[in-house]
Structure 1
Amino acid sequence: MNRSEGLIQRRIHGASSASNKVSDAGEDLSDGNAKQDYDHDADSKETRLTLMEEVLLLGLKDKEGYTSFWNDCISTGLRGCILVELAIRGRVELEKAGMRRRGLLTRKVLLKNGTPTGDVLLDEALKHIKETNPPETLQSWIDYLSGETWNPLKLRYQLKNVRERLAKNLVEKGVLTTEKQNFLLFDMTTHPLVDSSTKTKLIKKVQDAVLSKWVNDPHRMDKRLLALILLAHASDVLENAFASLSDDDYEVAMKRVRELLDLDMESESLKPNANETMWAVFAAFVK
Structure 2
Amino acid sequence: MTSISQRSSGLVQRKTAATVSAESRENEAENQNDYEDEDVGDSKETRLTLMEEVLLLGLKDREGYTSFWNDCISSGLRGCMVVELGFRGRVELEKIGMRRKSLLNRKLLYKSDSPTGDVLLDEAIKLIKETEPPETVQTWIELLSGETWNPMKLRYQLRNVRERLAKNMVEKGVLTTEKQNFLLFDMTTHPVTDTSIKQRLIKRVQDAVLSRWTNDPHRMDRRMLALIYLAHASDVLENAFAPLSDDDYEIAMKRVRELLDLDPEVEVMKSGANDTMWAVIASFIK
Higher share of residues assigned strand:
2
1:29-52 deviations in Å (ceiling 9; x for gaps): 667xx7344333485200000000
Are the equivalent residues in 1 in contact too, given 2:38–2:223 (CA < 8 A)?
Answer: no
**Counterpart residue number, 1:9:** none
SS of match in other structure, 1:28: helix
Counterpart code for 1:71: N
**Counterpart residue number, 1:74:** 73
Query: Over aligned residue pairs, what C-alpha RMSD do you find?
Result: 1.5
Deviation at 1:27, TM superposition (A): 6.3
Q: Percent of aligned positions with the same letter in both sequences?
A: 76
Query: 1:29 and 1:255, CA in 2 relative to 1: closer, same or farther beyond 3 A?
Result: farther
Task: Decide which moves more: 110-119 or 123-132.
Answer: 110-119
Are the equivalent residues in 1 in contact too, given 2:113–2:122 (CA < 8 A)?
Answer: no
Are the equivalent residues in 2 in contact too, given 1:38–1:88 (CA < 8 A)?
Answer: no
Are the equivalent residues in 2 in contact too, given 1:174–1:195 (CA < 8 A)?
Answer: yes
Q: Partners in 1 of 2:58 and 2:26 — Cα distance?
A: 33
Residue correspondences, number: 261
Deviation at 1:114, TM superposition (A): 1.7
Q: Partners in 2 of 1:193 and 1:100 — Cα distance?
A: 49
TM score, norm. by length of structure 2: 0.88
TM score, norm. by length of structure 1: 0.88
Are the equivalent residues in 2 in contact too, given 1:103–1:266 (CA < 8 A)?
Answer: yes
SS of match in other structure, 1:153: helix
Q: Partners in 1 of 2:123 and 2:132 — Cα distance?
A: 16
SS of match in other structure, 1:215: coil
Deviation at 1:26, TM superposition (A): 6.8
Counterpart code for 1:154: K
**Counterpart residue number, 2:17:** none
**In the TM superposition, what are the counterparts of 1:1-287 in structure 2 within 5 Å?**
28=28, 35-41=33-39, 44-287=43-286
SS of match in other structure, 1:212: coil
Counterpart code for 2:44: K
Runs of 5+ consecutive residues of structure 1 not aligned to the other structure = 1-24
SS of match in other structure, 2:179: strand
Counterpart code for 1:185: L
SS of match in other structure, 2:127: helix
**Counterpart residue number, 1:11:** none
SS of match in other structure, 1:142: helix
> Which structure carries more relative contact order (alpha carbon 8 Å, separation 6+)?
1
Query: 1:272 and 1:215, CA in 2 relative to 1: closer, same or farther beyond 3 A?
Result: same
